[in-house]
Amino acid sequence: MTPHNNAPKGAFAKTVLMPGDPLRARFIAENFLENPVLVNNVRGVQGYTGTYKGVPVSVMASGMGMPSIGIYSYELYTQYDVENIIRVGSAGAMREDMELGSVMAGMGACTNSNFADQYELGGTFAPICDFDLLMAAVESAKELGVKMPVGNLYSSDTFYDAAGRNARFGKMGVMAVEMEAAALYCTAAYTGKRALAICSISDNLVTGIELPPEDRQNTFTNMMKIGLEIAVKMANK
């Protein structure tokens, strides 16, 4: 057990889906997993383990921001023998043609965070996803008939963009902004594990349109299905 997770050893599956919102974790468990069991609820960060198509799968919230997902992913990788973490979260589109509720996968994650400074690398580290997970996501999206562009995310330490960085990252071809992927990718690299961020578009920063909070919690099902299909593919490798 850790200060943030009171699940016993072996309570988590090898693949964990990780939304930011604890209520989204519960939604995935109750609507997609067979026989889900609540294995952690410290600080209300709900973690469940069940099965999907006969494959053990866990889902646990990460909380909001890079420090939070850094804690939970590190503990899952190092204390609970988790191999794959798939972030299933929301992001703000920085391209006009990205529709609300559409899905994208983050091949890389730019950031304004100093999260990677803890490793004292003496240079700039480029956080990227695991290729096997990405290929499994692309294959799963095609099988499900879901259009899922792949590109760069911008993981920001700040939700309110006072400096106007979002637009400048958008000019560099970055597809969407969120707050967790870069830390997850760094943690996976440091621990020798796998990570991928799949995001549903909750708002479009170019057009100014956005989804209400309840829709963000309960309607991003294509992203959830892709994540679950990845777990099946990784179990059968």
Residues with Cβ within 8 Å of residue 197, at least 6 apart in sequence:
86, 87, 89, 105, 106, 109, 129, 153, 178, 180, 181, 184, 185
Candidates 21, 117, 157, 203; catalytic one: 203
**E strands in 70-188:** 84-93, 103-111, 150-155, 176-178
Nearby residues of 103 by Cβ (< 8 Å), 6 or more positions away: 141, 146, 147, 148, 198, 199, 200, 201, 220, 222, 223, 226
- Encoded amino acid at 210, one letter: E
The rounded distance, in Å, linking the Cα atoms of 80 and 140 is 26
Q: Is 215 among the catalytic positions? A: no
Distance (Å, whole) CA 31 – CA 191: 31
AA identity, residue 143: E
What interhelical angle do 66-79 and 181-191 show, nearest 10? 30
What is the set of active-site residues?
A: 203
